[in-house]
Amino acid sequence: MDAMNIITSLALFLSFLLVIKLFKTNKNKKKNKKKPPPSPPNSLPILGHLHLLQKPLHQSLASLSAQHGPILLLRFGNRPALIVSSASIANECFTTNDIALADRPHFPSMAVITYNHTSLPFAAYGPNWREMRRIATVEALSGPRLAFFSDIRADEARSLARRLFLSSGKVELSSSLFGLAMNVMMRIIAGKRYYGEKGEKEKEAHNFKDVIEKIFSLTGANNVGDFFPAAIGWFARREVDKKLARYHKYRDEIVQSLIDEHKRRRREEEEEEEKEGGLKQKQKQKQKIHKTMIDALLAFQDEQPEQYTDVFIKSLINSLIAAGTDTSSNTIEWSMSLLLNNPDKLEKARQEIDDQIGHDRLLEESDLIKLPYLHCIINETFRLYPVAPLLIPHVAREDCEVGGYAVDRGTLLLVNVHKIHRDPAIWSDPTKFLPERFQNVKEEEGLKMKMMLMPFGMGRRRCPGEGLALKEIGLVLGILIQCFQWERIGAEEVDMTEGSGLTMPRAKHLEALCRPHQYMMKVLSQI
């Protein structure tokens, strides 16, 4: 009888627990009973909606958004993908849901080139990403470090002006602009120039440019093989994987050689100090400001070798080189393309520089604050031709709600900044190049525009290199306008066709006629 009572009591207790659990489950279901975002009906087995997409991907997604609305759910193979083409919903993603959407997808094709998904742009949200971002900011991208490296940017801008002065006529700008951006980054990172150096380094620099462009063209959400089940996916992307592995090996070996070179130099310096019996000298060495980022990273490695491995250092350096070269040079190239097609805007910018700077010296970074119209041109370029038209993809770390719809954990997020920046509900004459739209804007309207303009992303995964990009783009574009007269090669307008890839290059590199302004000849001949 006692045993029966115990069993009965236990059964009642378990039943009670089961009722509570069912009650909670039903309550949660009701609470979370949100509809999924709208989705086009023509999804196919295995493919999902991939058959609807073409390149450039941002334009294809914009067409789908025009048909189905500013938030829609697609299936990229076996993966759900949330497509956002609304500024207000994008803001919700990166404010209310910033942490929930702070992760990055692990695309199989990206594993090699991102050091198994640990590089700064593609690392999962967590301690490794935070440490990389902290070091990148403190050692290369903070206000004090940007000021410390300002002479490098000025020197490279002068060097570009000198080369254009000596080779005026028909010029192809893409290589020169990439070379400048590459030199700026390599001098910050390793203390050495690549472009403009004759021989092997010049050849290596051109190869590096080619590798970076090819990597960008094959990454992001552009590789359909990433979205198929394992065996089919491997087959679909096998050629892309081979190419990326080859590009990664080339890039990795160059950066490793830079690290080894710095290690040798540091050993030689330490041996020299030992000869001088320099305990005080060693203390001074530790206290000095690191001249290059590799020096700083190797100092960290001395203290915590298990954390700051060579792989950690290479991953961070390659991320900075990629993020700080193609992006800035593409933006300047798009700006010059727009100005060539709008000579009245080019003349207005030149007049502003003439009025504020004059003809007796070259424009400097400290002058940029006096050139509001130049800033308007840059903002309008960011609006029309954002360097990452879909941003870097995000992925949901947890279930969340976006725009009133349920978004499941693991869903890919693509924010179509290109579409948002051309939304007629936000921008008047959205496809027209109108730098004046950013002029004399009231504070409230200016803040609103800032929320709508997101070329560097938003939230905690916002690009940390924004400050460097704005300084470099402003200085270089200003000097190109100040020093040279630019014309299209023929009567036809410059072709503005967009290329595809993680960044958005021009489909064809920009060529133009360039000759120095007569009143700048003296200045140019002295640099």
Mean of pLDDT values over 444-456: 84
- In angstroms, the Cα distances linking 372 to 135, 358, 430, 441, 468 are 32, 16, 21, 11, 18
pLDDT at residue number 275: 74
Distance, CA of 276 to CA of 273 (rounded, Å): 5
- In angstroms, the Cα distances linking 150 to 10, 144, 519 are 75, 10, 26
Mean of pLDDT values over 452-457: 94
3 state DSSP class of 162:
helix
User: In terms of C-beta density within 10 A (0-12 exposed, 13-18 middle, 19 or more buried), how is residue 440 classed?
Assistant: exposed
Domain segments of the chain: what residues?
Answer: 34-525
- The DSSP H or E segment spanning 169 is strand 169-172
What number of CA atoms fall less than 13 Å from residue 193's CA on the CB side?
13
pTM, to two decimals: 0.89
pLDDT-derived band at 24 (thresholds 50, 70, 90) equals low
463 annotated to bind ligand: yes
pLDDT at residue number 211: 85
Phi, psi at residue 402, to the nearest 5°? Answer: -130, 125
Quote the percentage of the chain above a pLDDT of 90: 71
- The DSSP H or E segment spanning 352 is helix 343-357
pLDDT-derived band at 12 (thresholds 50, 70, 90) equals very low
pLDDT-derived band at 483 (thresholds 50, 70, 90) equals very high
Contact yes or no for 398/100 (Cβ under 8 A): yes
Distance, CA of 72 to CA of 61 (rounded, Å): 10
pLDDT value at 14 more than 50: no
- 6 vs 456, higher pLDDT: 456
pLDDT-derived band at 220 (thresholds 50, 70, 90) equals low
DSSP for 286-334, written as a single string: HHSPPSSHHHHHHHHHHH-TTTS-HHHHHHHHHHHHHHHHHHHHHHHHH
pLDDT-derived band at 4 (thresholds 50, 70, 90) equals very low
pLDDT at residue number 440: 84
pLDDT at residue number 120: 95
pLDDT at residue number 448: 77
pLDDT value at 398 more than 80: yes
Mean of pLDDT values over 369-380: 98
Distance, CA of 350 to CA of 481 (rounded, Å): 6
Looking at 219-309, list the stretches that DSSP marks H as alpha helix, in order from N- to C-terminal side: 230-275, 279-287, 293-303
Query: What are the tens digits of pLDDT across the range 276-301?
Result: 765 555 555 544 557 899 999 999 99
Distance, CA of 379 to CA of 385 (rounded, Å): 10
Beta partners for 412? Answer: 81, 395
pLDDT at residue number 15: 46
pLDDT at residue number 13: 47
pLDDT at residue number 7: 38
Tokens of 501: 């890839």
pLDDT value at 83 more than 70: yes
End-to-end CA distance of the chain: 105
pLDDT value at 22 more than 90: no
Q: Is the dihedral of CA 422, 84, 389, 349 positive or negative?
A: positive
- In angstroms, the Cα distances linking 140 to 7, 132, 189, 467 are 69, 12, 8, 11
pLDDT at residue number 17: 47
Tell me how many degrees the CA angle 123-469-310 measures, rounded to the nearest 5.
40
pLDDT value at 5 more than 80: no
Query: What are the tens digits of pLDDT across the range 175-216?
Result: 899 999 999 999 999 998 887 765 456 777 778 778 888 888
Mean of pLDDT values over 29-40: 76
Beta partners for 75? Answer: 80
pLDDT value at 18 more than 60: no
Considering only 30-34, 258-262, 412-416, which range has the smallest mean pLDDT? 30-34
pLDDT-derived band at 502 (thresholds 50, 70, 90) equals confident
Q: What is the mean pLDDT of the chain?
A: 88
Mean of pLDDT values over 430-441: 94
Tokens of 312: 């950690």
Structural domain 34-525, CATH architecture: Orthogonal Bundle (1.10)
Q: Tell how far CA 424 is from the center of its chain.
A: 25
pLDDT value at 16 more than 70: no
pLDDT-derived band at 80 (thresholds 50, 70, 90) equals very high
Quote the percentage of the chain above a pLDDT of 70: 89
pLDDT-derived band at 1 (thresholds 50, 70, 90) equals very low
Contact yes or no for 225/236 (Cβ under 8 A): yes
pLDDT-derived band at 501 (thresholds 50, 70, 90) equals confident
Mean of pLDDT values over 8-27: 49
